[in-house]
Amino acid sequence: MTVQVGTDTAKTRRTLSVGAQSVSYYSIAAATDAGLGDFSRLPAALKVVLENMLRFEDGGRTVSTDDIKAFAEWATKGGKNPREIAYRPARVLMQDFTGVPAVVDLAAMRDGIKALGGDAQKINPLNPVDLVIDHSVMIDEFGNPRAFQLNVDREYERNMERYQFLKWGQTAFDNFRVVPPGTGICHQVNLEYLSQTVWTDKDQNGELVAYPDTLVGTDSHTTMVNGAAVLGWGVGGIEAEAAMLGQPISMLIPEVVGFELTGQMVEGTTGTDLVLKVVEMLREKGVVSKFVEFYGAGLDHLPLADRATIANMAPEYGATCGFFPIDGETLRYLENTGRDKDRIALVEAYARENGFWRGDDYAPVYTDTLTLDMGTIVPAISGPKRPQDYIALTEAASAFGKYVKGIRSGEDASPRAEVRWEGEGGAPEPVDIPGDEGHHARGHVNGSEADRMQLHDGSIVIASITSCTNTSNPYVMIGAGLVARKARELGLNRKPWVKTSLAPGSQVVSHYLEAAGLQEDLDAIGFNLVGYGCTTCIGNSGPLAPEISKTINDCDLIATSVLSGNRNFEGRISPDVRANYLASPPLVVAYALVGDMNVDISTASLGKGKDGQDVYLKDIWPSAKEIADLVEKTVTREAFLDKYADVFKGDEKWQSVEVPEQETYDWPATSTYVQNPPYFQNMDPKPGQIEDIAGARVLAVLGDMITTDHISPAGSFKETSPAGKYLIERQVPVREFNSYGSRRGNHEIMMRGTFANIRIRNEMLSGVEGGYTKGPDGQQTSIYDAAMAWQEKGVPLVVFGGEQYGAGSSRDWAAKGTALLGVKAVIAENFERIHRSNLVGMGVIPFEFTGGDTRTSLGLTGEETVNILGLADVKPLQEVPATIIMADGTEKSVTLKCRIDTEVEIDYIKNGGVLHYVLRSLVAA
């Protein structure tokens, strides 16, 4: 890898000597000496972006002197100066759900550039790209020692076509590496191994240059690595592909909100409890499209594992990133996780020399601030359907009761069903016995007959220790193991209707759990290792036992899940589960013991012990000292060095995957996983112009907080859905459907899955859930079928939405699917950052209502015709006129704000998308 630098950077380039090393770097102090401004009080997060400007200054073609001076003006203008800049991250991180379609696009671009007479080798990543396969493992097997191997075997059976394609990409493209299945979650692998905090490479002149480690990733939780002072955030796959191909990311200099942490955590609380409070506070504050930087004396008592947990959930609190500056804890973590000692010395020297170090005198200017005393944190969960819905543990049971009452419209009684289990552990084996209340229940727990237990509203059917958010944190993982140990010693076990699982984010977690003897305790109560991947957190929870699933659906039960993840949106975790709660790993174990969300586990008995005694949460909760002692003993530098020694090698299954070495991909016609997308077929060498949207009809009218999970679901789908019908027509049995996420390399599947979430509600229809709308004939039909019918008529489409449209994961298919359905514009009250960018990247124009107008104030029903004018010469963030012709022929005139935010995005829209823009540019060059 050769780092490219600008052509006008000599005045800020200096040399730093560290031990035997001598490296060049771009000095912020030198920029001040050169008269460019005073940057001393910029937040560290913004200094990283400033260094990027210094390193790539080229006289104004992409970075000008005025761009650099704008950062000094930011500090003098109260932390605001929204100037457009061109930012170049050092590298790109991908996971397989979003990475497969990105590699599909690169392969298609090679075909496209050849068709236009260009050189296929021009389509190559110019920046390093790491793709970690972590999204494919599904929890089919659980609760037994065979679970891990059986799930891995099934993963390869389902995904061999995808893995062959990714392995081809590794051989075909430069600067592209794949971390094989069964290794870990991309963000945890990035935090524990790939990231360096300060990066070094030779420039085009052969000189070694040090610079801040930065990245973008095709997953919103890329932000996790900000806990280690590595500036990174999630972007859509489309934007990431452009970055790989050398295109700068166009962005505005962000506002930076300072979040002061004071005090320290008290006994009985965890980093998860802290982050759930942070999410609530920052969502209330409003930090969308802003940087958040954490500072204050509280950081002196906050381990990097907790910092990473907070940084991970930046998408949940809405920020671009949640950054922690470099300090002594950063160095300690780099040392403990096996980083090279010379690199650690460089990190400290560079940070101190270039103004990135958080010392006692660290006092930057912020746009705004807020403060939290960590001593006030209490145990908490979040749910039932948004990460920001914070609930103190003492209020959890009553809050759930209120939620159920709302669902049941105040009815005193809710549907109930009873199921009987014979035997211990594993999947339940229901025995139907006729009765007035459904299936009567008896069970065996720990070999003794248990009280009759009903499945009812609030029965916890999934309890999963999952996700990089928490499994990267040894304090909560060791804590969960200790809860399991104490519960086992006292004679408690999980309730048999609870599907339990443990899916760590890296193999290091298994190492220290086994070294501490805690994996055996977790196994004993059903938390066996099921795989190294995202699993339940992204909806790969696997099927529930058929009898449980049937009972839930037949009786319309509000079943629940508890997971140590970061997302709990409706329909995400399991199609059978309506209420989902985020919790720390120790609380996940505790809830598995109870099996019922109606129980106040903070005070009520968790169950009867082996001596018939009541066991309470306080009886099994470990002390902070117990946890810290085991962490210090078992989480070692040697463990990280050992587990990451052959991180790219993979197991025998990966090594046996054979692929041809060829420049372009030989698209298999019969593949239902990977298909050549239509984006670049029959492409004109020259771009067009932006045209007015005339005579558009409405595909959907959607409410507030429509997430990318709603727009492009990642979980399972039924044979009766458009995607299911497509596979059935191609003789794919239901057992082999896999998930939407795993089939993102096939546009035919993903088009049919767009707006197909089982919980999405299109306000064009009354009381209907799922991906339905009205077709041209006015009758209810699937959104896909309606879109195809409108396309046949040559009619453009629009979608209306509410607040926070496109919140959640950085799913490029939420934009790609929207574009392929023929949607030309999305009109909402406001947009989440990543999805807005993705829409532009696919040639779909986002618009925001102005003047207090909303879909409800305008009385929209979906029967309207929409015209949006003034687009031929539109400027960034310009307001444009639109007319909405109602069903009765009356017209309403409104003004819309065009959310094409920058000049380069104007070019993207003219070209039909960012990849079209890049492809035409490469051909022209």
Looking at residues 435-461, what average pLDDT do you find?
A: 51
Q: Report the pLDDT value the prediction gives residue 430, as an integer from 0 to 100.
A: 36
Distance CA 905, CA 403 (A): 43
Residue 513: strand, helix, or coil: helix
pTM for the full predicted model: 0.84
Q: Report the pLDDT value the prediction gives residue 145, as an integer from 0 to 100.
A: 94
Domain limits, the chain: 2-80, 393-635, 693-924
- As given in the structure block, the two tokens for residue 573 are 């975790």
> What value does the mean pLDDT of the chain take?
91
Q: Report the pLDDT value the prediction gives residue 1, as an integer from 0 to 100.
A: 62
Residue 241 has pLDDT above 90, yes or no: no
In the beta sheet, which residues pair with residue 898? 847
Q: Which of 58, 50, 42 is nearest to 10 (CA)?
A: 58
CB atoms within 10 A of CB 87: 20
Residue 361 near residue 660, CB atoms below 8 Å: no
What is the residue type of 768? Answer: V
Q: How confident is the model at residue 138 (pLDDT cuts 50, 70, 90)?
A: confident
Written as one string, the DSSP assignment of 582-597 is: E--HHHHHHHHHH-BT
What are the tens digits of pLDDT across the range 458-467?
Answer: 999 999 999 9
Written as one string, the DSSP assignment of 408-430 is: TTT-S---EEE--B-SSSSS--B
Percent of the chain residues past pLDDT 70, beyond the cut: 95
Q: Report the pLDDT value the prediction gives residue 286, as an integer from 0 to 100.
A: 95
Q: How confident is the model at residue 439 (pLDDT cuts 50, 70, 90)?
A: very low
What are the tens digits of pLDDT across the range 740-789?
Answer: 888 999 999 999 999 999 889 999 999 999 999 999 999 999 999 999 99
Q: How confident is the model at residue 5 (pLDDT cuts 50, 70, 90)?
A: confident
Q: Report the pLDDT value the prediction gives residue 925, as an integer from 0 to 100.
A: 80
31-40, 279-288, 419-428, 707-716, range with the lowest pLDDT: 419-428
- Taking the alpha carbons at both ends of the chain, their separation in whole angstroms is 22
Q: Which of 210, 175, 166, 213 is nearest to 194 (CA)?
A: 213
Residue 436 has pLDDT above 60, yes or no: no
Q: Report the pLDDT value the prediction gives residue 255, as an integer from 0 to 100.
A: 98
Looking at residues 681-694, what average pLDDT do you find?
A: 92
Q: How confident is the model at residue 343 (pLDDT cuts 50, 70, 90)?
A: very high
CB atoms within 10 A of CB 557: 24
Q: Which of 218, 214, 217 is nearest to 231 (CA)?
A: 214
Distance CA 420, CA 892 (A): 60
Q: How confident is the model at residue 135 (pLDDT cuts 50, 70, 90)?
A: confident
Q: How confident is the model at residue 411 (pLDDT cuts 50, 70, 90)?
A: very low
Residue 440 has pLDDT above 80, yes or no: no
| Fold (topology level) of 393-635 | Aconitase; domain 3 (3.30.499)
Residue 453 has pLDDT above 80, yes or no: no
Looking at residues 546-568, what average pLDDT do you find?
A: 93
Distance CA 481, CA 479 (A): 5
**Cα radius of gyration (the chain):** 27
Residue 687 has pLDDT above 80, yes or no: yes
What are the tens digits of pLDDT across the range 32-43?
Answer: 999 999 999 999
94-103, 188-197, 483-492, range with the lowest pLDDT: 94-103
| Fold (topology level) of 693-924 | Aconitase; domain 4 (3.20.19)
Q: How confident is the model at residue 698 (pLDDT cuts 50, 70, 90)?
A: very high
Residue 346 has pLDDT above 50, yes or no: yes
Q: Report the pLDDT value the prediction gives residue 855, as an integer from 0 to 100.
A: 97
Distance CA 821, CA 752 (A): 9
CB atoms within 10 A of CB 428: 24
Distance CA 43, CA 439 (A): 61
Residue 414 has pLDDT above 50, yes or no: no
Residue 247 near residue 358, CB atoms below 8 Å: no
84-93, 206-215, 431-440, 751-760, range with the lowest pLDDT: 431-440
